[in-house]
Chain A
Amino acid sequence: MKNFFKTLAVIVVLLFGFFLFITSNDISGIRSFIVKSGSMEPIIPTGALVVTQYTHPVHLKKDDVITFIRPTEERDFITHRILDINTRNDYTSIQTKGDNNKTPDNWKVGGGNVVGKVNFMIPYLGYILTFVQSKVGILLFILIPAIYILVEEISNIIKLFRKNEHYVAEPVETSILLLALLFGFGSVHTGQTQALLSDSVVLKDNQFVVTLHPTITPAITPKPSSAACGGITTININGNGAGSNNSVSVQNNCPLQTVTQTNQSNVTNTVTSTTTTGGNKTEFNTVSTVLEENRSTITTGEVSSDISVSVTGESNVLIKD
């Protein structure tokens, strides 16, 4: 009975190590990846191992979870869900999104970038494989078993040549170590995929009113005719705000007579004036609360302040050529 379980355990480890080796080296279109981040939780938790199978884009559909090569400069493996898939003229374009991300991914995946469709996942296995890939893991799962096996086998070879001893059958420990080695060997090559995380925020409803430059009327300088001499050319500039400089050019062949320039501006001045009367003092007063004529009062002197406000800024200049 004990032997049965031992054998079963050996077979399981053997198969598993072999499976890892096959899938990490992209044989037969099946490929496994360690999942490094959590945008696909809970169906694919961080640290899981996903097993993908290559699927031609023609067989992919909305809601499939796929592993693909990111079509931006990073070129790493991303595992997300298909939000939308479109094939036109043999070219497939896929819009992907992480289940936990607010917005779809900022790229379109081409059919050629698809590594495979995720068939199943094994939680926590990614963490274990990452440990095996670490220095400590390499030591435990590869180097130590390897050295042990090498020593065993080399001593077996020596014994064979010496022929002084019967060839001793492989101890079980060696087999197990061989399997651990296979497991380690398969693990170190397992690649990684990101369930890439993202979040978005919105600055909503920025609204702008486009106001034009000050209007100048008439838009076109009227052409003078001989009859126009003596008439009045009126040019209006409206809507120019404070601090604007506006210029108008008028050309006519009439003798210069009278030029009238008018400005109309609206200015609001707010003036706050505070004056104080200072230094008022009374002493030795007996204050009566009953007889009014005995109450003392203080009369302050006159206070005045001079305020002048001047508004400047409008000026017209007439230049005669």
Chain B
Amino acid sequence: METKKLIFSLLVVAAVGATAVSATRALLSDAATLGESTFSTGTVDLQISNGGPYGDGPVTGFSDSLRPGENKNYSVWLKNNTSDVVFKLDGKALTPVLSAGIDKGDVKIRFTEVNADGSDLIGGATIQKTLTTWEGGDPFGAGFNLPANGEQRYKMNVELDDSAPAGTFSFSFEFTGTQVIVTPTPTPSIAL
């Protein structure tokens, strides 16, 4: 009878002891939050402007004429109207319509971060893809991330290939902001 109790007590000491050791290590290292992210309650809101006041859109796009080989710039502003979420951006061209002879590959759309006055942002991100690639949806890249309550202006450059014949083309463009999960990095601590 006492042997059984002895064995039981020893087992408990071993198991609990191991747990206590690992818990102590966890406490002493700053990774005690186990690399977790914070809770994000509430909704997120991305807003757009084509020069006027910000809104949830859709906003009217641009109408213009282009010669083959020519490119022109237009102004698009985006705002992350959420207080506790960073956005990463994705772009997608919607309902592209092109007249005969003009290919989606002939149209290139570039987005470049610009200052409030429209001048290029030094070190600002830029990305150019064909209408074909944008139609499938493509990420802008980490350089374009929009911080919480952040606003960024962009130059949208539309370029038409030299080989395009006369005609017309149109497209809508959808910008999606997706929550970036921020994991706090542990600060260095004494190794146990």
A residues in contact (CB < 8 Å) with B: 36-38, 46-47, 74, 76, 100, 103, 106, 127, 130, 133-135, 138-139, 142-143, 146-147, 149-150, 153-154, 156-157, 160, 167, 178, 181, 185, 188, 192, 194, 196-213
Q: Chain A residue with minimal CB distance to B179? A: A197
Contact of A203 among B6, B45, B76, B178 (CB under 8 A): B76
**CB pair A157 B9 closer than 8 Å:** yes
Any chain A CB within 8 A of the CB of B46? yes
Contact-residue bracket for chain B:
35 or more
CA distance A160 to B164 in the complex (A): 94
Q: Mark B162-178, 1 if CB is under 8 A from A, else 0.
A: 00111111111111111
CA distance A100 to B40 in the complex (A): 14
**CB pair B17 A204 closer than 8 Å:** no
CA distance A46 to B156 in the complex (A): 37
**CB pair A206 B171 closer than 8 Å:** yes
Chain B residues numbered 31-51 whose CB sits less than 8 Å from any CB in chain A: 32-34, 36-48, 50
**CB pair A134 B33 closer than 8 Å:** yes
B40 neighbours in A (Cβ, 8 Å): 36-38, 46, 197
**CB pair B17 A150 closer than 8 Å:** yes
**CB pair A199 B44 closer than 8 Å:** yes
CA distance A201 to B92 in the complex (A): 11
CA distance A76 to B177 in the complex (A): 18
Any chain A CB within 8 A of the CB of B186? no
**CB pair B175 A200 closer than 8 Å:** yes
**CB pair B78 A201 closer than 8 Å:** yes
CA distance A74 to B86 in the complex (A): 15
**CB pair B16 A201 closer than 8 Å:** no
A196 neighbours in B (Cβ, 8 Å): 178-179, 181
Q: Chain B residue with minimal CB distance to A45? A: B41
B44 neighbours in A (Cβ, 8 Å): 197-199
Provide a sorted-by-A list of 21 A–B residue pairs whose CB atoms are within 8 angstroms. Answer: A38-B41, A46-B41, A47-B39, A103-B176, A106-B90, A127-B39, A143-B27, A146-B17, A153-B12, A192-B36, A199-B46, A201-B174, A203-B61, A206-B62, A206-B170, A207-B62, A208-B170, A209-B167, A210-B160, A211-B67, A211-B166
A200 neighbours in B (Cβ, 8 Å): 46, 174-177
**CB pair B37 A202 closer than 8 Å:** no
CA distance A143 to B179 in the complex (A): 35
CA distance A103 to B137 in the complex (A): 12
Shortest CB-to-CB span from B150 to chain A, Å, is 14
Most chain-A CB neighbours within 10 Å: which of B2, B20, B42?
Answer: B20
A204 neighbours in B (Cβ, 8 Å): 57-61, 172
With A142-B23, A202-B57 known as contacts, the answer to whether A213 contacts B68 (CB < 8 A) is: yes
B45 neighbours in A (Cβ, 8 Å): 199
Q: Chain A residue with minimal CB distance to B142? A: A73
Any chain A CB within 8 A of the CB of B117? no
With A157-B6, A206-B62 known as contacts, the answer to whether A46 contacts B175 (CB < 8 A) is: no
CA distance A185 to B20 in the complex (A): 10
CA distance A103 to B176 in the complex (A): 8
With A194-B179, A198-B176, A202-B172 known as contacts, the answer to whether A38 contacts B42 (CB < 8 A) is: yes
Contact of A210 among B85, B102, B179 (CB under 8 A): B102
CA distance A76 to B59 in the complex (A): 34
**CB pair B33 A202 closer than 8 Å:** no
The 6 closest A-B pairs by CB, nearest first: A206-B61, A201-B48, A202-B58, A146-B20, A201-B57, A204-B58
**CB pair B61 A207 closer than 8 Å:** yes
Contact of B65 among A103, A106, A160, A208 (CB under 8 A): A208
